[in-house]
Amino acid sequence: MAGSTIRRGPWDLNRKGSIDQERHSRRLKEALVRQLPTIVGETPVITREGDGVVRVPVKVLDLPRFRHREPRPEEVTGEGQGARSPGDVVASIPRQGEGTGAGEPGDAEHEHTVEVEMDLDTLAALVFEDLALPPLKPKVAGRMRESEWVWNSRRRHGPYATLDRKATLKAALARNAAQGHPGLNGFSNEDLRYRSYTPVEEPVTNAVVVLIRDVSGSMTDDKKYLARALSFWLVRWIRLFYRDLKLEFLAHDTRAFWVDEAAFFTLSAGGGTRSAAAYRALGERMEEAFPPDRWNIYAFHFTDGEDWGPEEARGALEGLLPALNLFGLVELAPERFHARLGEILGRLPNPPVVTVRIDDKTEIMQGLKRLLGSGGGDEAHAG
């Protein structure tokens, strides 16, 4: 058209919204990864039942902007005309936002956080990606079972609803070419192909996770919280590798008793500590309900490491090791180091015995890496 011009603009202008969204998502992921050691121990996350959306606290993401720097001390004046000696303080710069001490309000900014809603599976994927854990290798049981029916074959006869049009077309083209008439020159009954299924057998990979908690008098509420946080992420990781996963809960002081999940995390503390009772109860339950030739067995013991009979506990656990995929001893903020159970159990083969010490929730991720990693070596601090 005469006299008309075509306006040309930046080619990515129309994509500006999606570019900004991608950039924001990338920065949000980076912020989440940096804060994972704190996030994995947050109460709203580990107390979430089932799957769904969780609210994760994340530090506010500030965009780049110019900031005025504070004056350097040598740039501060006000010494007046009086005599001064070297080292005299003639002026000071109050820290930003503290006020003057005379009741005046502060004027500084504070680092705030926002709560981001995200899928729990997405958060778990970030956690495990950052930990770079090796995949679990389940023990394969001897018996087999049928799994889902898999549509993986073709037949010349079958119901019309299962007709595979693509395979039928290929058969017609091949037949016509073989007869000297390349191309599509009609169909015949011998060209028809129908989808069919076959049962596929796979090894049984059922698993049971036994969580053992010391409920003696030295187990404080903080230690109870750490046990809950570790349990949440341990079970979630193992569940990725098994179709069927069963949870068992065992509590003990000087005696052992099986409880449900609610009681496991809420039982009050009291009494002494004898871990051998719990290990014997675990062995009895394995013989009755979880024979090692049919089950992959993972056990995790949460305690502060103080035990009246550590050598007795070592002997009770040693006989169970051939049947266990993994046994993790988690010492929670131990106070006395001369009687630590981990020092005794650390003499057992590693793996399957892995010991770790955790003092606060910032060490949860390193504890997970130690427990679910390749294992090997002596007992180490999670931090």
Domain with residue 262: its CATH number is: 3.40.50.410
Please check whether residues 244 and 344 belong to one and the same domain.
Answer: yes
Please check whether residues 178 and 165 belong to one and the same domain.
Answer: yes
Interval 134-175: pLDDT, tens: 888 887 655 555 566 777 788 888 888 888 888 888 888 888
Please check whether residues 246 and 338 belong to one and the same domain.
Answer: yes
Please check whether residues 159 and 307 belong to one and the same domain.
Answer: no
Amino acid found at 186: G
Sequence-ordered strand ranges (E) for the chain: 53-59, 113-119, 144-155, 194-203, 207-214, 245-252, 256-259, 296-303, 326-332, 353-358, 380-381
**pLDDT band at 125; cut points 50, 70, 90:** confident
Q: What percent of the chain has pLDDT over 70?
A: 69
Please check whether residues 302 and 188 belong to one and the same domain.
Answer: no
Please check whether residues 266 and 377 belong to one and the same domain.
Answer: yes
Question: Could you tell me the CA-to-CA distances from 364 to 35, 151, 326, 339 in Å, in that order?
Answer: 12, 44, 18, 23
Instruction: Please check the confidence at residue 324 and state whether its pLDDT lies above 90.
Output: yes
Please check whether residues 198 and 285 belong to one and the same domain.
Answer: no
| Residue partners of 229: CB distance under 8 A and separation at least 6 | 40, 41, 46, 361, 364
Domain that holds residue 242: 207-381
Instruction: Please check the confidence at residue 260 and state whether its pLDDT lies above 70.
Output: yes
Interval 295-317: pLDDT, tens: 899 999 999 888 888 999 999 99
**pLDDT band at 378; cut points 50, 70, 90:** very low
Please check whether residues 274 and 172 belong to one and the same domain.
Answer: no
Interval 183-237: pLDDT, tens: 887 888 888 889 888 777 666 678 999 999 999 988 888 998 999 999 999 998 9
Instruction: Please check the confidence at residue 132 and state whether its pLDDT lies above 80.
Output: yes
**β-bridge mates for residue 155, sequence order:** 194
**pLDDT band at 109; cut points 50, 70, 90:** low
Please check whether residues 257 and 346 belong to one and the same domain.
Answer: yes
Please check whether residues 341 and 360 belong to one and the same domain.
Answer: yes
Q: What is the pLDDT of residue 316?
A: 95
Interval 327-352: pLDDT, tens: 999 999 877 655 578 888 988 988 89
Angle at 174 between CA 172 and CA 180, to 5 degrees: 105
Please check whether residues 195 and 273 belong to one and the same domain.
Answer: no
Please check whether residues 170 and 276 belong to one and the same domain.
Answer: no
For the entire predicted model, the pTM comes to 0.66
Instruction: Please check the confidence at residue 358 and state whether its pLDDT lies above 60.
Output: yes
Q: What is the pLDDT of residue 140?
A: 67
Instruction: Please check the confidence at residue 381 and state whether its pLDDT lies above 50.
Output: no
Q: What is the pLDDT of residue 175?
A: 86
Residue 7 lies in a domain: no
Interval 64-96: pLDDT, tens: 566 666 666 665 555 555 566 665 655 554 555
Of 120 and 113, the one with more pLDDT: 120
Q: What is the pLDDT of residue 251?
A: 95
The total number of structural domains in the chain stands at: 2
